[in-house]
Structure 1
Amino acid sequence: MITILHNPRCSTSRTVLAMIRDSGTEPTIVDYQKSPLDRRALVSLLIALELSPRDIIRTKEPLYKELGLADETLTDQQLLDALLDHPILIERPIVLSPKGARLCRPKERVLEIL
């Protein structure tokens, strides 16, 4: 079973979804902006990815600058709160499979877990 945290407006996310489907698998699609992750799910995701909250923040999102999230003194908890309050800040796509979890930027990273 493969799950993709997907934003249908993102071209990279759409491409990764197509790559998964081209591999012969129909993934579970989670539009994480319409169905936001709770704290427990987001922490579990970060553990699976072996990444910190800062590693999955969309730095190109205008809200990133507005909220001052580039401040290196912010703790992981503060960044986690920002991601929970504003799911648009979560980098995408993120794919989970039995072979692991990947933030698929670049998109070819999905091939590592298909």
Structure 2
Amino acid sequence: MKSSCTTCRSAKAKLTELGIEVDIRDFFKKPLEATELECLLPADPGPMLGTKSPKYKELGLKDRRLTKAEAIALMVQDNNLLKRPILVHPKGVIIGFDSVAYEKLVS
């Protein structure tokens, strides 16, 4: 989560509404490490890329298919390349704000 991110704040509000308690980690203050990203990223890291990041556009990532290792290396260098928020729940990892997926966690 990034404190200045409106999507993150919306996600937090929805989770609170659903009664899902969360421990929030601002990964701009405490960046995710490569080993953590290795566990979070799917084999195709595309869904985890923050497409609105200036670095995403600068590197021309829209037209590239990154390997998991390449994506991790870039994300460690620049946390803005991570799509946010990232919800890690016993039922799975949800990337980005997805209210329908959040509701499924409590049903």
Q: Same fold (TM over 0.5)?
A: yes
- Residue ranges of structure 1 left out of the alignment (5+ in a row): 1-5
Find the partner of 2:8 among 7, 13, 38. 13
CA RMSD of superposed structures (Å): 2.0
Q: Which runs of structure 1 show a deviation greater than 6 angstroms over 4 or more consecutive aligned residues?
A: none
TM-score (norm 2): 0.82
* Number of the residue aligned with 1:70: 62
Find the partner of 1:24 among 19, 33, 49. 19
* Count of paired positions: 106
Between the aligned partners of 1:75 and 1:14, the Cα distance in structure 2 is: 30
TM-score (norm 1): 0.78
Find the partner of 1:60 among 52, 60, 83. 52
Between the aligned partners of 2:69 and 2:30, the Cα distance in structure 1 is: 21
- Residue ranges of structure 2 left out of the alignment (5+ in a row): none
1:39-75 Cα shifts (integer Å, max 9, x gaps): 11001011xxx45222211112111121232342643
1:2-53 Cα shifts (integer Å, max 9, x gaps): xxxx11212121011111122234310011111111111001011xxx4522
Q: Which moved more, 1:81-90 or 1:6-15?
A: 6-15
Shift in CA distance, 27/98, structure 1 to aligned 2, threshold 3 Å: same
1:53-98 Cα shifts (integer Å, max 9, x gaps): 2221111211112123234264332222111110111001111112
Shift in CA distance, 39/25, structure 1 to aligned 2, threshold 3 Å: same
- Percent identical among aligned pairs is 32
